[in-house]
Structure 1
Amino acid sequence: MSTADGSTATTGQDPDQERGLARWAQRSAAWTERWFPDAYVFALAGVVLVSVAALVNGSSPQTVAGTFGDGFWDLTAFTLQMAMVVLTGYVVASSPPVARLIARIALVPSTPRGAVAFVALLSCLVSMLNWGLSLVFSGLLARAIARRGDLRADYRALGAAAYMGLGAVWALGLSSSAAQLQATPESLPPELLAITGVLDFGSTILTWQSLVLAAVLIVLTVAVAYASAPRGGAVRTAQEMGIDLDDTVERPDGPSRPGEYLEHSRVLPALIGLLALGWLVLQLATLPVLSVLSNLNGYLLVFLVLGLVLHGTPRGFLDATAKAVPTTAGVLVQFPLYAAMAAVLTRAEGRGGVTVSEHLADLFTGLGSGGAFAVVIALYTALLGLLVPSGGGKWLVEAPYVMQSATDVGMNLGWTVQIYNAAEALPNLVNPFFMLPLLAVLGLRARHLVGFTFLQFVFHLPVVLLGLWLLGMTFEFVPPVQP
């Protein structure tokens, strides 16, 4: 049996003794982990590919280079916002009150397979609120259940279940990068804003069609998690895998000198919390609820202050933040490349003054409207997401030509965002990039989880495509609304 660090143990059951699809998926994941480069390399390659496409389209080298540099920092504000989505979720999940809540919740399931299904359900539900919170909360819940001496649950299956929020429905929830971007005009590049206008949550993630699709996927996820959980001799517990489950956190000592008293005081966090609560009440009293929910800056303000209040003191909050910062690295270094890609696609004019984005729009427009358009866009999004794992950044690469095509064929623009969102989650089930924060919490490697997550992918793919096709037929085209 392989342990978390790749060594061999003598207890439990070797993963090669798994049968059927799970065994094949684990071997495939091991191959991917060995041969696939980091996701940042794919982002670099994407810039090169788009630049070559612009040159082939007739753009001059000077135009391509100039557009690359001019667009590189177009997403500075959005990059910070997406990094804060991850950071705030981590800080809230690691706070003492939430940690105590997790310990109580871990006592709810009564059977090993039920525990796996339970983790999958909560992971999905929490991800509808915040995908960063879901990763950390679910990972800590999986560890808490694994510590129970009366429940012999498979730790790999628990870990995969903890990932299901990000692998199944996160992009259909409030932290959807694409939906938040489309609802925040100051974060939209001018070229995209001119095509789509502003789309608030009422036309994207809070439509009844989107909520129905999310509910179906959650039920499917929980059912597959339950059915695929190992039993009997196939179970591998955390102890058998050599995982240290001690989650004892060293709380900061009291002040040792006068300058530290305020660092350990609960007064300032409480006052800031009251200010934030007053702001939220004022917003809800003076603006439409959907407008408040759609405001990304307000969303992050509430989560950041909530983390401060839950940690109790500035010192505790800062210590948690220091641990959360490394999980934002991928967002910070990749999003500028996505901005450059989007700029080259939409601004580097070639022969006849036509950009690569416009050529792609013509290609997708030729597919026609209705179900065929939805399915092809979904498959394209999923494939691109396998190579370029990023919800918000990749939307900025796709959106100019996808949304222009949707307008040309009369596809509802809000539902087009949801086509992207539903398909965007699919590659997360087989690409380990977004597993990294969770793996750090669990003490596992990607190959331990992908066998289970790939099985979810097999079931999710046809359901997502069919759902997008059928539900998309209930929409009417609505012209873009400019801010």
Structure 2
Amino acid sequence: MKYFQLLAKPFTIFVERYYPDPFVFAILLTLLTYLITLGLTDITPMDAVVAWGDGLASLLSFMAQLAIMLIAAHALAHTDSIQRCLRFLGGLPKSQAAAYLMVTVIAGLASLLSWSLGLVAGAILAQQVAIEGRRKGLRLHFPLLVASAYAGFVIWHMGYSASAPLFVATPGNALEGTIGGLIPVTDTIFAGWNILIAFVTLALVAITCSLMRPKEEDILEAPVEAMESMREDEEEADRSAGHGSPLSPAGHMDNSRLISIALGLFLMVYLVHWFSSKGLNLNLNIVNWSFLALGLILARNPLHYVGLIGNASRTVSPVLLQYPLYAGIMGLMFNSGLVNVMSDWFTSISTPETLPFWAFISGGLVNFFVPSGGGQWAIQGPVFIDAAQKLGVDLPLVVMGVAYGDQWTNMIQPFWTIPLLAIAGLHMRQIMGYTFVIFLVTFLTFGGGLLIAAT
């Protein structure tokens, strides 16, 4: 255990001293991308600025989907039924090691269902484990609990909401003609080798998190009293929400659970029809309507659900502030040809056995600049699909190679820590030293797994 503590310590010191705030990080990354673009492509300085500016609005529709997903997942996680489930789970660990391990596993499984649910439920579970641990006299390092929740997120692009596999499985996608058809999710998300790598990775990450627990004198416990006070304030606001007398017709409607259930069931009927007519055709909208339907059904009444949505808004605003900057970076990289320069270099050194591995490395590098699974696949996918066809490599391996890279460098890219940390009440610098270690560990499972699968 002490070796993992020693491994995490230099990364923790590095992040605390040299990693800027995520918004500042995005600004600096914009400037760095601009300089790299001028150095590696033939674009003029003014054309590069125009390419960046034209890209700022390119992900507005995705930003709306992202906002709904985060808000709906947050609201669902705070419904009474889900909260009772999380409290039950929070009381299960009987030791420090079990606490970190369980948070990682639950967050990882939730991330396989949906990346947004993994982030939200992971943060809430970390809080609940800290609260229940205090009641049992179990001293837990809260930054590591939250880092464990984020570590589970490292396998999100292998599950239900995986952008790249869903893209190539969707009829009418931009690569359907190039590929000569669709790549079903049974060959990517539900392939045996992908499922095996996902669960081996999650097990190894969970064990690593439990081994990184600090010495007793270095433990920073959660502000349990403040968290419980905030929760009581939110519950009181939920109880007092409403307009007019509860005995009036308007009051009855405002507080009628039947109304929110009716809308939730209406959405469920639509979802059942969708899956029965289109099969396992998943996209971000369907995931969003799933969360919205479940949240409405589990809420106490319509106003309770409105209150849950209001409480969720603080997890969204920092993401929406930064996303245009990353959309601008994506526009600059795509319109200048920089992403092609990078991807072409990786494909030029590849063999049939190593192309999925280099797709993974390339995906990890590009994700650092474009932390969007869908946006990243849109600009990298054509290059690696073409290379796979020329080298005779199975296309699902290349698709998942890019997907693995996208999820891998999230461990050292602070963007997706924002919604998780907004709930947990920590700063990115407090957890990212630990996730640097996860970044190193998962290189072995992702890279090694792809090399084995390609042979």
**TM-score with structure 2 length normalisation?**
0.84
**Quick check: which one's helix share is greater?**
2
Residue pair 2:5, 2:213 contacting (<8 A) in 1 also: no
Tell me how large the CA RMSD over aligned residues is: 3.2
Give per-residue Cα distances to partners, 1:336-390, cap 9 Å, x unaligned: 5666665666667xxxxxx666655543432233343222222232233334433
Aligned to 2:271: 280
- Aligned with residue 303 of structure 2, among 278, 296, 315: 315
C-alpha displacement of 1:470 = 0.9
For 2:361 and 2:97, how far apart are their aligned partners in 1? Answer: 32
Tell me the amino acid that sits aligned with residue 140 of structure 2.
A
For 2:55 and 2:414, how far apart are their aligned partners in 1? Answer: 29
For 2:81 and 2:209, how far apart are their aligned partners in 1? Answer: 28
For 2:433 and 2:46, how far apart are their aligned partners in 1? Answer: 47
C-alpha displacement of 1:46 = 7.0
The answer to whether the aligner puts 1:324 opposite 2:312 as a matched pair is yes
Tell me the amino acid that sits aligned with residue 152 of structure 2.
G
For 2:268 and 2:200, how far apart are their aligned partners in 1? Answer: 34
Aligned to 2:13: 27
Shift of the 278–36 alpha-carbon distance from structure 1 to 2, 3 Å rule, reads closer
- Aligned with residue 99 of structure 2, among 115, 118, 124: 115
For 1:368 and 1:65, how far apart are their aligned partners in 2? Answer: 33
Tell me the amino acid that sits aligned with residue 86 of structure 1.
L
199-208 or 325-334: bigger deviation:
325-334
- Aligned with residue 401 of structure 2, among 419, 424, 428: 419
Aligned to 1:202: 186
Aligned to 1:269: 260
For 1:130 and 1:101, how far apart are their aligned partners in 2? Answer: 18
Give per-residue Cα distances to partners, 1:13-50, cap 9 Å, x unaligned: xxxxx952222111011123348763432564477458
Shift of the 142–465 alpha-carbon distance from structure 1 to 2, 3 Å rule, reads same
C-alpha displacement of 1:69 = 6.7
Aligned to 1:163: 150
Shift of the 330–422 alpha-carbon distance from structure 1 to 2, 3 Å rule, reads farther
For 1:331 and 1:410, how far apart are their aligned partners in 2? Answer: 40
Give per-residue Cα distances to partners, 1:316-341, cap 9 Å, x unaligned: 22222223234334554555566666
Tell me the amino acid that sits aligned with residue 432 of structure 2.
V
For 2:350 and 2:20, how far apart are their aligned partners in 1? Answer: 41
- Aligned with residue 297 of structure 1, among 285, 294, 297: 285
Tell me the amino acid that sits aligned with residue 123 of structure 1.
A
Aligned to 1:133: 117
The answer to whether the aligner puts 1:40 opposite 2:26 as a matched pair is yes
C-alpha displacement of 1:117 = 0.8
Residue pair 1:369, 1:410 contacting (<8 A) in 2 also: no
Aligned to 1:428: 410
Residue pair 1:117, 1:225 contacting (<8 A) in 2 also: yes
Shift of the 285–31 alpha-carbon distance from structure 1 to 2, 3 Å rule, reads same
Residue pair 2:27, 2:325 contacting (<8 A) in 1 also: no
Aligned to 2:108: 124
For 2:341 and 2:367, how far apart are their aligned partners in 1? Answer: 21
Q: Which runs of 5+ in 1 are unaligned?
A: 1-17, 349-354, 474-483
- Aligned with residue 429 of structure 2, among 422, 438, 447: 447
Q: How many residues align?
A: 440
Aligned to 1:81: 65
Alignment of 1:34-113 (within 5 A): 34=20, 38-41=24-27, 44-45=30-31, 48=34, 52=38, 56-57=41-42, 73-113=57-97
For 1:429 and 1:339, how far apart are their aligned partners in 2? Answer: 20
C-alpha displacement of 1:105 = 1.4
67-76 or 419-428: bigger deviation:
67-76
275-284 or 306-315: bigger deviation:
275-284
Residue pair 1:85, 1:175 contacting (<8 A) in 2 also: no
Residue pair 1:87, 1:132 contacting (<8 A) in 2 also: no
For 2:13 and 2:50, how far apart are their aligned partners in 1? Answer: 44
Aligned to 1:375: 357
For 1:459 and 1:361, how far apart are their aligned partners in 2? Answer: 24
Tell me the amino acid that sits aligned with residue 363 of structure 2.
T
Aligned to 1:7: none
Give per-residue Cα distances to partners, 1:236-277, cap 9 Å, x unaligned: 3225x9964443232142542454543322122111222222
Tell me the amino acid that sits aligned with residue 26 of structure 2.
Y
- Aligned with residue 154 of structure 1, among 138, 141, 147: 141
C-alpha displacement of 1:71 = 6.0
**TM-score with structure 1 length normalisation?**
0.80
C-alpha displacement of 1:66 = 7.3
Aligned to 2:211: 227
Percent identity of equivalent pairs: 25
